[in-house]
Amino acid sequence: MSRLRFGVIGCGVIGGLHARVLTSYPPLAERARLVAVASPSSQRARRLAAETGSEATDVSALLERSDIDVISVCTPSGLHAELGLRALAAGKHVVVEKPIDVTARAADRLIAGARQAGRALAVISQRRFDPASRMLRSALDAGELGTLTSALVEVPLWRGQSYYDSGDWRGSRALDGGGALLNQGVHAVDLVQWLMGPVVEVAAHTALKGHRGIEVEDVVTASLRHANGALTSLLATTAAYPGRTTRLTVHGDRGSAVIGNDELVYFHAAGPQDDTSAYGAYGAGNQAAERRPAAPAEQRDASGLLPSPHGEQLLDFCDAVAAGRAPGVDGEEGRRALLTVLAVYEAARTGTVTRVPSTTAPDMSPAPSAPMTTEPA
């Protein structure tokens, strides 16, 4: 099977992770090859190219190259659709980092552009590819936790003022789109919907408490109601010094599970003969060690992320292109997570319970794009 040839736009933290995964994740060795990286900063591009054994170039030149099949867009969020559409117009397949973009209209244009070009589009949601998440999804599909009743999402991170001061796009509505939820917490929103089902309505509050000079929130709390009636309580913040691990807890009437920092830390499912009519076991009987997927030890990237989930999602993308199927997390899935986040913001703005749109993206003609002038994330 021939290898897909990748180009990465954006040579910051996430672009660097994509480039390193493409060049060092063993299962990708026979499926993908990094050809070149691009950035408005030639210094950043040269540095990443030297590290990964690829070529450094500029964005326009990268898009025009005939020896590249896939463009991986790792720029500020508000540029994802713009650059994705330019890549599609050049005949490339497209991978965009989360979120798909910062507005529903931009997401719709990108999805329509991929549909019209006949090219694959994937949105990075790598936590679906964590071994712990996959194990929990299998358990839920098998009904091991019974009827799903509730979930708890915690994203208590710290980003210092210097983080927001490091780029004029950070914390801006135009390019960041949102704060702690859209930038950092969207992964958790996607994951809880993948496990618990679509969110249909939300109530929420947002605040800016630990930072200055930005247009978006650094704290958000929300109550989410899923289509199946289950409820999720969500907290996302970048003002929780010194930062704690992200946790997702899922409850059902026959079991519960906790994923902390991408690992299964608690799991208990009642057996067929277990009596669940009394008071329960109050957290006893942790079966996580028995259910925890076996995985080799990994060193986290500079961003704090494990390389293998990104690697597994890119491997799924290669399989999708080869098979002519949709990627595991396609544009519609990325749009679903974005619409839920936007509903949270609307609920916080209006103080009312807000419905999440459930329609699929319309078939829109992509708009012309302007050249990128802002440094990628």
Active site residues: 98
Nearest to 6 by CA among 127, 92, 130: 92
Three-state SS string over the chain comes to CCCEEEEEECCCHHHHHHHHHHHHCHHHCCCEEEEEEECCCHHHHHHHHHHHCCEEECHHHHHHCCCCCEEEECCCHHHHHHHHHHHHHCCCEEEECCCCCCCHHHHHHHHHHHHHHCCCEEECCHHHHCHHHHHHHHHHHCCCCCCEEEEEEEEECECCHHHHHCCCCCCCCCCCCCCHHHHHHHHHHHHHHHHHCCEEEEEEEEECCCCCCCCCCCEEEEEEEECCCCEEEEEEECECCCCCCCEEEEEECCEEEEEECCEEEEEEECCCCCCCCCCCCCCCCCCHHHHCCCCCCCCCCCCCCCHHHHHHHHHHHHHHHHHCCCCCCEHHHHHHHHHHHHHHHHHHHHCCCEECCCCCCCCCCCCCCCCCCCCCC
